[in-house]
Structure 1
């Protein structure tokens, strides 16, 4: 483990304004977010705030909020966010040196929509491959060292079999000393044994089991009988 808890202190803010109006952000301000496993999945509907949260966590660690490593912080047009600049971490023993020294920080922020641009900028995106192949090539060549790796919906570019390969890379990464925080909609990724799953929604933040996730239940029902869902949206 690199970090054990994330928190933020904001002396004065309007709870009716974004991002303070987002329930998971209010939960972070009130209780913080504790990490209990090397891989943490944040799961929630679109608009639940999980992407806002992972971007802030990445920025708080010193990673480029556009996507990339700490060496490229704010190299893109994206400036500091009001939440990201307030994020602080409580480090695990192995993470204290990283948080105590800017040059010692290792990690990467992988955003689905900017991943290949960020990887190309840092010299890791191979030419003449698909989006998904580029993702996997990055994991093979870049996501190796101990550090904090933050991901926002990495499954967006991946097929079923590629998601399985990604799980293998995540497993190897944490065995090498890495820590992963990942926002996802994927029931496949969240099934990783030993991962901590946090459901994000109107309730804020709460830990749950894979079998209790709403997305797992919906996929199971849909695959069993697609027409039970499609009849409500198709003429």
Structure 2
């Protein structure tokens, strides 16, 4: 592993204003986030703050908030966020050299809405394939070396079978010395054996077993009886 803890400190903040109004951000300020496995999934409802959190972690590591590798920074018009610039890391034993030098840091920030633009900017443009196939091709070619790989909802472009292939890539990446932090809504991805799952919400952050995840429970109930949900939505 590269990182064993992320944290942030600011001199003062107003809890009524974003991002300090987000519970998981306040917990990052107070207790930090410890990493206990090579793959950490952040799970929560829309608006829970998981994307805010992963973007700040990427920025703190030196990755472009627009998306891309450590070698290509700040294609976006804005600089680091107020949270991202305050994020710091404690190195795991295997990550001390990488965290000790900006030049030694390696990794990639993959965010669903800008992924293909970021890959194109780095000279990887699979125009002849679909969006999902392009994602998987990027994993095959860009996600190889030891480093920190931060992802925001990578399943957005992927089918069921492609998500399974992605799990294989994540497993191989961690075997090669990589570490992954991934925000997701996917019960398929979060089932990766050995992964750490952190549920984000009004409570802040808490570790949850896969079978106890709210999203797993909802998907199981929905697939067993869609009408139980749809009758509240459809006339």
Any runs of at least 4 consecutive aligned residues in structure 1 with deviations exceeding 3 A, and if so which? none
- Cα distance in 2 for partners of 1:44, 1:163 equals 19
Instruction: Compute the displacement of 1:184 (Å).
Output: 0.1
What residue is the counterpart of 1:96 in the other structure?
Answer: 96
What residue is the counterpart of 2:134 in the other structure?
Answer: 134
SS of residue matched to 1:103? coil
What residue is the counterpart of 1:111 in the other structure?
Answer: 111
- Cα distance in 2 for partners of 1:108, 1:163 equals 19
Instruction: Compute the displacement of 1:72 (Å).
Output: 1.6
Contact 1:125–1:137 (CA under 8 A) maintained in structure 2? no
Alignment TM-score, normalising by the size of structure 2: 0.99
What residue is the counterpart of 1:187 in the other structure?
Answer: 187
The alignment status of 1:199 with 2:199, answered yes or no, reads yes
The alignment status of 1:167 with 2:167, answered yes or no, reads yes
- Post-superposition Cα deviations, 1:62-107, rounded to whole Å, max 9, x if no partner, equal 0000000112221222321000000000001221111111111110
The equivalences for 1:201-220 within 5 A come to 201-220=201-220
What residue is the counterpart of 1:122 in the other structure?
Answer: 122
What residue is the counterpart of 2:233 in the other structure?
Answer: 233
What residue is the counterpart of 1:15 in the other structure?
Answer: 15
What residue is the counterpart of 2:68 in the other structure?
Answer: 68
- Cα distance in 2 for partners of 1:201, 1:176 equals 32
- Post-superposition Cα deviations, 1:182-212, rounded to whole Å, max 9, x if no partner, equal 0000000000000000000000000000000
- Cα distance in 2 for partners of 1:175, 1:80 equals 31
What residue is the counterpart of 1:79 in the other structure?
Answer: 79
Unaligned 5+ segments in structure 2 are: none
SS of residue matched to 1:42? strand
Instruction: Compute the displacement of 1:127 (Å).
Output: 1.7
- Cα distance in 2 for partners of 1:198, 1:78 equals 29
What residue is the counterpart of 1:35 in the other structure?
Answer: 35
The alignment status of 1:148 with 2:160, answered yes or no, reads no
- Post-superposition Cα deviations, 1:9-58, rounded to whole Å, max 9, x if no partner, equal 11111111000000000011010000000000000000000000000000
Alignment TM-score, normalising by the size of structure 1: 0.99
What residue is the counterpart of 2:176 in the other structure?
Answer: 176
SS of residue matched to 2:71? helix
- Cα distance in 2 for partners of 1:112, 1:125 equals 15
Aligned length: 235
